[in-house]
Amino acid sequence: MELQRFAERIATLAMPNTRTTPEYAAYKKLQVYEAALEGALPGGISEKERSLLNHLRVSLGIAQSDGMSLEQDLQT
């Protein structure tokens, strides 16, 4: 919950006059998760990082399959 509120605050600050639709919210959540993945990928993802990423993914409501697909896309 705390991570989700943080992500929503960042999105609001970045684009204050944007109307939040479910699609836009889902897109912003994927962007937050993608940024976290990008930060972890360069040296390989440790067990601790994997645990944190999984927690973030779940708290953002991102399906495991979507998270895996995004990770695979970033590795190519």
Q: Where are the domains of the chain?
A: 2-75
- Mean pLDDT along residues 43-64: 93
C-alpha distances out from residue 57 to 23, 34, 53, Å = 17, 10, 6
The predicted structure's pLDDT at residue 61: 94
Residue 47 buriedness (CB in 10 A; 0-12 / 13-18 / 19+): exposed
What is the value of pTM for the model shown? 0.72
Q: Picking from 8-12, 19-23, 25-29, 62-66, which range would have the lowest pLDDT averaged per residue?
A: 8-12
Predicted confidence band at 18 (pLDDT cuts at 50, 70, 90)? low
Q: Is the dihedral of CA 66, 70, 75, 76 positive or negative?
A: positive
Percentage of residues in the chain with pLDDT exceeding 70? 92
The predicted structure's pLDDT at residue 65: 96
